[in-house]
Amino acid sequence: MTVEAALQYLESQHNALIERLRDFIRIPSVSAQKSHAEDMHCCADFLMKTLTDMGLQPRKMPTGGWDVIYAEWLEAGPEAPTILIYGHYDVQPPEPLEPWTRQPFDAEIDEGRIWGRGSADDKGQIWTHIAALEAYFRTAGRLPVNIKILIEGEEEIGSDNLPGFVQQHAEMLKADAVLISDTSQFAPGMPAITYGLRGLCYLEVRVQGAKMDLHSGGYGGAVPNPIHALAEMLAALHDADNRVTVPGFYDDVTPLQDWEREAWSKLPFDEAEYIKMLGIQKLQGEQGFSTLERLWARPTLEINGIFGGYAGPGAKTVLPCWAGAKISCRLVPNQKSADISKKLENHLRALAPETVSMTVEHMAGGEPSAFPTDHPWIKAGERAISKGFGREPVYTRLGGSIPIVQLFSETLGTPVVLLGYCHPDCGAHGPDEFFGIDEFTAGARSNVFMLDEAAHIPSV
Ligand code: BES
Ligand code: MN
Ligand code: MN
């Protein structure tokens, strides 16, 4: 049986697959930093070679930003379904480095885990798909379905160029379903299918006072301080119930469904344990919602960074002439990124005192998404994970964003199946990121089953 042979391959080639994954992780493909341009190209080449060795003819395609890697295998024929597998080869900057207890790009193996930036987000998870495809090619010499693979290099900086690429190549990317492993399990050993992600809008605001920094003794008390102005503006963005004060912010929010509320309340979520893991005193969030509801189904506003004035060592008496902040909102269906961005800007303008002038720069955005859990493709994912992990997945939504997911579903008119394999506290974007070796194994096995399950879903 082809599935058995493919699974056998995963087992016999386990060590070699892990070693190659480590090579992948060792390439510091940090898309946000221009100094890593060479590494970005090197990482793209690594994938080109990987896919070529598998017998595919991959293409490095320009996007206006970092290249996209694309390959397809359509020899299962027009009757068989076509799956588009998406992932990203870029990683977040590892900085700050002090809190890491391992080297971010050594791909050290310890405690049954591979440690390193990008090990979970998203290199290790892409690798579960590469392994599954390779397992079929090296055993059966073919796949049970048609496959298209798109691995981008700009996800961690907002996928600015990908929407244009997807629209331009909509025909090339046409598929019956999109498969993505860039989310997480609900708990270790408790795999999840994610049926909804939050969207995002992001802006940077700057307020300007005097035209130059001033002596805080010589001028302070008579001249406005833009840091004070900004602090007041930012403090006014939430009310006493932790609701966002931007007018119209909640207007388009699709309310949480009763069945979701019920199902999520049954998930084994230990709030005390969560608080301990985070090292906080207590949780804080919108009144009237549980923690999972706040994280998965409610929109939020976060200040990501605040800057201005003197923050160096020692005391410098200065009345700074400007201050700035980076603000993001996580969005839920049916909010629109551009709409919320505009409403936030208008609100900031209304809040800004006359003593400062204000400028706003709008940055990365992405729409929220949600998919029906009873869709045949999602059900196929459920069966695949059940076999791959030996345990049925739970259905979750997640708070993070994958900007292209909603566009895929709109442009291609297909569901997106989010099969998440990494640990929920895998250190993505933070220090000591890891991907469990057993997570890799169960993920790759699930993908093998998924390709087989997919072959039995009629193509539309
Ligand atoms: N893999 C994550 C998305 C994610 C995180 C999904 C947590 C579910 C749970 C992805 O790489 C990511 O970090 N996305 C960014 C998007 C942003 C840079 C536009 C995010 O969510 O902040
Ligand atoms: Mn990711
Ligand atoms: Mn990420």
pLDDT tens digits for 430-454? 999 999 999 999 999 999 999 999 9
DSSP-derived 3-state class of residue 114: strand
| pLDDT, the chain, mean | 97
Mean pLDDT over 64-89 rounds to 97
Residue 295's identity, in one-letter code, is L
Confidence (pLDDT) at 412? 87
pLDDT band (50, 70, 90) for residue 286: very high
pLDDT at 460 over 90: no
pLDDT at 373 over 90: yes
Pocket test for ligand 1, best of 156, 195, 341 (most atoms within 8 A of CB): 156
Q: Which ligand is nearest the CA of 183, by number?
A: 1
pLDDT at 325 over 60: yes
Atom 17 of ligand 1, nearest CA residue = 158
pLDDT tens digits for 137-182? 999 999 999 999 999 999 999 999 999 999 999 999 999 999 999 9
Instruction: State CA 205 to chain mean position distance.
Output: 24
pLDDT tens digits for 110-123? 999 999 999 999 99
Of 293, 290, 360, give the one whose Cα is nearest residue 332.
293
Match 């979520």 to its residue by tokens. Answer: 269
Question: How much of the chain exceeds pLDDT 90, in percent?
Answer: 98
CB of 183 within 6 A of ligand 1: the answer is yes
Residue 321's identity, in one-letter code, is C
Indicate the DSSP class of residue 314: S
Confidence (pLDDT) at 1? 75
pLDDT at 97 over 90: yes
DSSP-derived 3-state class of residue 110: strand
- E-assigned strand segments in 319-400: 322-331, 357-362, 369-370, 394-398
Q: How far is the CA of 210 from the centre of ligand 1 (A)?
A: 38
Q: How far is the CA of 411 from the centre of ligand 2 (A)?
A: 21
389/60 Cα distance (integer angstroms): 34
CB of 337 within 6 A of ligand 1: the answer is no
Q: How far is the CA of 269 from the centre of ligand 2 (A)?
A: 23
Higher pLDDT, 32 or 459: 32
Q: How far is the CA of 322 from the centre of ligand 3 (A)?
A: 31
Task: Encode 27-74 in three state secondary structure.
Answer: CCCECCCHHHHHHHHHHHHHHHHHHHHCCCCCEEECCCCCCEEEEEEC
For residue 39, what are its two tokens?
A: 């590494």
pLDDT tens digits for 179-211? 999 999 999 999 999 999 999 999 999 999 999
Please give the C-alpha separations between residue 420 and each of 90, 262, 357, 394, in angstroms, as whole numbers: 18, 22, 45, 11
Q: How far is the CA of 439 from the centre of ligand 1 (A)?
A: 19
Q: Contact 162/404 with Cβ under 8 angstroms?
A: yes
Atom 19 of ligand 1, nearest CA residue = 158
Alpha helices in 267-336 (DSSP H): 271-278, 291-296
pLDDT at 458 over 70: no
Pocket test for ligand 1, best of 126, 181, 182 (most atoms within 8 A of CB): 182
